Structure 1
Amino acid sequence: MSLPPGFLDEIRNRVPISRVIGKKVVWDLRKSNQARGDWWAPCPFHQEKSASFHCDDQKGYYYCFGCHAKGDAISFLREADGMEFMEAVKLLAAEAGLTMPEPDPRARERTDRRTRLLEVTEAACRWFRLQLQTGAAAEARDYLVRRGLDQAALDRFEIGFAPDSRTALTGALRDKGFDDALIVESGMAARPDKGGAPYDRFRGRIIFPIRDGQGRCIGFGGRAMDPNARAKYLNSPETPLFDKGRNLYNLGPARAAVAKGQRLVVVEGYMDVIALARAGFEGAVAPLGTAVTEDQLRLMWRVSPEPVIALDGDAAGQRAAQRLIDLALPMTGPGQALRFVILPPGQDPDDLIKAAGPGAMGALLDQARPLVDLLWSRETEGQVFDSPERKAALDKRLADAVARIPDERTRAHYAEELRRKRWELFGGSRRGDWKPGKRGGAAKAGRPILPVPATASDPQAAGTLLEGASLLICALRPELIAQEETRLERLTPADPNRAALLFDLLGQTQSPAGARGLETLRRDAHLGLTPAVIDAQDTETVAAILTNLLDRLEAQRAIGAELARAEAEIQGEADEGLTWRMQQIARARHRAERPELEGATDLNEDREALSAQLSQFIDGQIWRKPPRR
């Protein structure tokens, strides 16, 4: 029966979801906000004492933070009371005081036809199961025994057998009163291209029934017993019942297991699902002989917000993971994440469980990696980034991938995580080609040991006031780091504690060395006013200070490099013109470093003047940005 547009929305508007769910739960009134329609209770789908089940009247949805059950009032009635869709709609319509619409004759006809097709597939399922007990299925039974399936497993998954006969199933279905047109439409038989009597689609195969989320048999998968068969696995064709891109094998039992707290684990084949379920991982599903589709992803997310994709460790499994990255990125967001497990090479879940037991599989699932890790691995593994162009190409690929994520917050977190990974990959090269273990140390807990750059012997570099002020401002106002991150990454502090502080700021980490660097800056008498001044100002003002400081640092670096080049070009005795040129470069560098402080003659005066300048800027008296060079 089809429903007119807006009918379900009218039901939702008239019947608050809390009224439907409130008949099954006891609300926690201390945690709930009744005026806002915000309700909390212990979850009715799994045993718990705390109120982790949330119901929102305004949105019309519920969600459990414990077992991840979610949906609207209709799905609640279907899950909690086992109602069919239309049964739940009728109950809610009565509660809302609405009259159910008259059935559409064409819709009734389609429903009746679908019901008849389901009768065909259910009859075929029973027939296949009977055939597994016959003499013709001896080889199939031996194969299933070798795969470790006992009678309980065969019964649980309704495994059957299709004999190598052209018309055995078709004849059996005719005997039950089904006509040829219905048998062909159900996918149980096919017609020859040149016409003639229908013939059985499944022949000489072990049969796996495929049921939808409501437990109805919608199709079959068949594994060939003949090693020379053109297709090892064969699925039902597309029918009014079966769309292989929109269904998952073992969906109904897996959904029930996930509601009780198990993980949703997505594997490649029927036997993998059976092996996992028998080992205790009952939330296992599999796509139906194809790569995962968008519809299947959405179906997974309706069951669990974070499915675990467990792929075989062979080349095909790796390729499947790469395709899934591109498919999932434009769909990922809050409540729609993926984690990945790549099995050891040459093993599938069945092999691993047999070889090492369920504990080994559980350990792998516990270590499942997020989607961002696989994206990073895909773009970096096996590649050498020994030139600016290669690094820029990596940056572009990552930026293009992140740009495909629709949710702004998720996109920002991806960018942040990828920046951290990039820092770990390239951070050492900005510190003298550092590598783990170099200079007498090794990386600990994923954090590189920062070597002392060669400039540490230069007292002026070690005591750079602008650098210290920039780092202190970033430590006091970390929200400004993102807008100046690229420029901060180019800093190369000579002092190891400052270097560690910079690494902590960019990577959002904490280290003893970084803490020492921050404390040193806080205690600096000439920067002592900075914390008090900065804490009292608005973000825009402090951002302007930080930008100006970094402008000066870049100008200082650029003119210093020019001066060094000029000095290197001197050959022979310097004439008057070259001497004048050197003086002008030195004066330009001094003006770039301290445009307002040309009268300062020593380091102490410069420090005092810089502190005074910061203070005056806060009062709006001075601040002149030097030109970028």
Structure 2
Amino acid sequence: MSLPPGFLDELRTRLSLSQVVGRKVMWDSRKSNQGKGDMWAPCPFHQEKSASFHVDDRKGFYYCFGCQAKGDAISFVRETENVGFMEAIEILAGEAGLEVPKRDPQAQQKSDERTELAEVMEQAVQFFRLQLRTGGGADARNYLDERGLAGAALDRFEIGFAPDAWQGLWDHLSSKGVSPEKVLAAGLGKPSSKGGKPYDTFRNRIMFPIRDARGRCTAFGGRAMDPNDNAKYLNSPETLLFDKGRSLYNHGPAREAAGKGAPLIVAEGYMDVIALAEGGFGACVAPLGTAITDSQLHLLWRISDEPIIALDGDKAGLRAAQRLIDLALPLLEAGKSLRFALMPDGKDPDDLIRAKGPQAVQQVLDAAMPMVQLLWDRETEGRNFDSPERKASLDKALREKIMLIRDPSIRSHYGQAIKDMRWQLFRSGTSGGPKKANWKKGDWRQKAPTKATADTKASLLAGAGEDTQRQMREAVIIASLICTPEVVSEFEGQLEELQLSTQEHNALLDLILSHAHRGAEVLREKIIDARGLENLEKLLNAGHVAITPCVRKPGDTEMALMTISEELAKLEAEQGLSAEVAEAAEDLVGLADESVTWRLGQAAQARNLAMRSEHEDKAEYDTAPNGARISREEKSAFDALLGKLNVPKVP
């Protein structure tokens, strides 16, 4: 909404900045000069003892020499009250006695109606609070006392009681001059379906006023005193004032507390919020007994960048958390996310804080997990991944969830986090269900368990010449993927498990796996940003790479598929032989047997079969004692190993 010219100037003119700021600070009388409008105080935006926060009343600006916070009355209200621009204008206009201009006559009429309904709701608040103190509210008082709610908490949250009468509130409001139409419009009464007298919406219930961010009572939540009542909790119907899916219980106080640095906690019910607030967790809200909506999620993110979802420690609470993941994934933005703190089994925040105190709740909050971890747990918990088909099913499910994320940067980071956890699961040597482990961020390929280092393998397999050949194959694979990134999905599983020989190749493959889905142009930009144009050109212009058909013809998927399949097969065969040699080294420390040379022979045959597509099987072969064929090059490397271990050479 645009404001008329001059309105903000008039607003600033009518207000004293020191008066606005003075509600939040204690002025330092030694440094301040009120006559000149030169005021000093400890800064309300950061913890300090000295008075470094300066207000210049004449200019209408403030500045902190400690944290460099600065602004005018509007920005001060926005920061300290944690509200938006128009809400800050409305707050200041109310103090200055100015009316915020309305958009049109119809909007003005609706605003007037809301104001009238809010006044009716305030009368209802006072009525319910009074009823709690009467004889008819004795059972309600006893219940609240058993739940540990003292008088201060009852006053703070304005808890009341709706008497068990057909028209208790109706008659009270009528005596105050409130029309029947207003009672019905406020959601406090319902017309009789049989044509009789209207009746109160809430009867024989403990009443919790629901206030909006501006502090207006817009609705009520009622907890039934009768255990046989059809609805344990009942909320007001939707009205001109109240939209259930766009409201949060304890919104205003939580927003103010979060603005001062308190973590925002989202609980399930009224009693949870009250218990948390009384336990010192001031920034806590509840979604009014329903699943969180997208509008409520945006409200939460306006209060805090990373709310903590503290749900009950039972199956229903876990299901609610998991449903929230599907809602939140498409809405994620940079810096906006969720964390999940699951209470102990069978406990809610109210139970836990009454049983073990605020410290127990704090420990649960400190252990809150990021949303990506809960997503992973949901897809893997209790499942077995002992077959390729089951692993593929997991990959598909996770890929579908990640693709819901609209922000490409967040989607990329989620993909990398999932790959880290996937490696932890599939490369841990277990074929059973998932085992939770403390994985750390970083290049997971560098952490893959191996039987020997790269240098050891190179020496065992005839030295630097073969290592260079391996790097050339890797370069061809990487260049082919860069030129035709559409084929990455066909090899994703193999690429994730590929152990590359250089840090540069590992870095390039990480970028390919993270950005290939965004197309060749974006992928190249990301590679240039991360590794530099010179390194990319060096890779693509290398002689053995430049002559590769699919590099010469970028976008030729058929040629790329053929080339990458062939090169991966060769690399895997070479890796297999390297692994067998490394394991043989361990076996030969004890007593050697024919199975060692048999395994080496089998691995050598697999490797040479993979090489034949380039006519690389011209080496002469010798025969091992068990009859297996082994090349002279491999026999020489193996004999060198036997010599180091003082084991007789293969004849």
Matched, 1:452 2:459: no
Contact 1:265 1:307 in 2 (8 A): yes
Matched, 1:489 2:496: yes
Contact 1:492 1:499 in 2 (8 A): no
Q: Distance in 1 between matches of 2:7 and 2:372?
A: 37
TM-aligned CA deviation for residue 88 of structure 1: 2.0
**What are the Cα deviations for residues 540-586 of structure 1, in whole angstroms up to 9, with x where unaligned?**
432676988976652426889999xxxxxxxxxxxxxxxxxxxx999
Which residue is 1:426 aligned to? 426
Which residue is 1:542 aligned to? 539
Alignment of 1:146-295 (within 5 A): 146-295=146-295
More deviation, 217-226/83-92: 83-92
Q: Distance in 2 between matches of 1:588 and 1:472?
A: 19
| Secondary structure of 2:310's aligned partner | strand
TM-aligned CA deviation for residue 175 of structure 1: 0.6
**What are the Cα deviations for residues 436-464 of structure 1, in whole angstroms up to 9, with x where unaligned?**
99xxxx988669882639x9899449985
TM-score, length of structure 1 as denominator length: 0.67
- 2:386 partner amino acid: D
- 1:469 partner amino acid: Q
**What are the Cα deviations for residues 320-351 of structure 1, in whole angstroms up to 9, with x where unaligned?**
01110000000012132000011111000111
Distance of aligned partners of 1:299 and 1:435 in 2 relative to their CA distance in 1, 3 Å threshold: closer
Q: Distance in 1 between matches of 2:139 and 2:274?
A: 20
Which residue is 1:360 aligned to? 360
Which residue is 1:556 aligned to? 570
| Secondary structure of 2:154's aligned partner | helix
Distance of aligned partners of 1:536 and 1:333 in 2 relative to their CA distance in 1, 3 Å threshold: closer
Which residue is 1:469 aligned to? 471
Contact 1:209 1:217 in 2 (8 A): yes
Which residue is 1:107 aligned to? 107
Distance of aligned partners of 1:216 and 1:467 in 2 relative to their CA distance in 1, 3 Å threshold: farther
Distance of aligned partners of 1:597 and 1:43 in 2 relative to their CA distance in 1, 3 Å threshold: farther
What residue ranges of structure 2 are gaps of 5+ in the alignment?
22-41, 54-63, 94-98, 512-530, 549-562, 578-604, 621-630, 638-651
Distance of aligned partners of 1:434 and 1:271 in 2 relative to their CA distance in 1, 3 Å threshold: closer
Contact 1:552 1:593 in 2 (8 A): no
Which residue is 2:89 aligned to? 88
- 1:88 partner amino acid: I
TM-aligned CA deviation for residue 507 of structure 1: 9.2
**What are the Cα deviations for residues 606-626 of structure 1, in whole angstroms up to 9, with x where unaligned?**
x9xxxxxxxxxxxxxxxxxxx
Q: Distance in 1 between matches of 2:473 and 2:7?
A: 54
Q: Distance in 2 between matches of 1:435 and 1:458?
A: 38
| Secondary structure of 2:219's aligned partner | strand
Distance of aligned partners of 1:140 and 1:356 in 2 relative to their CA distance in 1, 3 Å threshold: same
What residue ranges of structure 1 are gaps of 5+ in the alignment?
26-41, 54-63, 93-98, 509-533, 564-583, 608-629
Distance of aligned partners of 1:489 and 1:79 in 2 relative to their CA distance in 1, 3 Å threshold: closer
Contact 2:204 2:226 in 1 (8 A): yes
Q: Distance in 2 between matches of 1:130 and 1:235?
A: 20
- 2:539 partner amino acid: V
Which residue is 1:529 aligned to? none
Contact 1:466 1:552 in 2 (8 A): no
Contact 2:405 2:411 in 1 (8 A): yes
Q: Distance in 2 between matches of 1:160 and 1:467?
A: 80
**What are the Cα deviations for residues 380-414 of structure 1, in whole angstroms up to 9, with x where unaligned?**
11111122121111111111111111111111100
TM-score, length of structure 2 as denominator length: 0.65
Q: Distance in 2 between matches of 1:473 and 1:44?
A: 57
Q: Distance in 2 between matches of 1:208 and 1:293?
A: 21
Contact 1:450 1:500 in 2 (8 A): no
Which residue is 2:25 aligned to? none
Distance of aligned partners of 1:543 and 1:263 in 2 relative to their CA distance in 1, 3 Å threshold: farther
Q: Distance in 2 between matches of 1:219 and 1:436?
A: 46
| Secondary structure of 1:384's aligned partner | coil
Q: Distance in 1 between matches of 2:114 and 2:137?
A: 31
Alignment of 1:309-320 (within 5 A): 309-320=309-320
- 1:465 partner amino acid: D
Distance of aligned partners of 1:542 and 1:458 in 2 relative to their CA distance in 1, 3 Å threshold: closer
Contact 1:211 1:249 in 2 (8 A): yes
Q: Distance in 2 between matches of 1:158 and 1:374?
A: 37
Percent of paired sites with the same residue: 48
Q: Distance in 2 between matches of 1:265 and 1:201?
A: 30
**What are the Cα deviations for residues 290-324 of structure 1, in whole angstroms up to 9, with x where unaligned?**
11000000000000000000010111101101110
- 2:467 partner amino acid: L
Alignment of 1:343-354 (within 5 A): 343-354=343-354
TM-aligned CA deviation for residue 259 of structure 1: 0.9
TM-aligned CA deviation for residue 277 of structure 1: 0.5
Distance of aligned partners of 1:255 and 1:298 in 2 relative to their CA distance in 1, 3 Å threshold: same
- 1:254 partner amino acid: A
Which residue is 2:649 aligned to? none
**What are the Cα deviations for residues 403-439 of structure 1, in whole angstroms up to 9, with x where unaligned?**
111111111100010011111111235xx969999xx
| Secondary structure of 1:310's aligned partner | strand
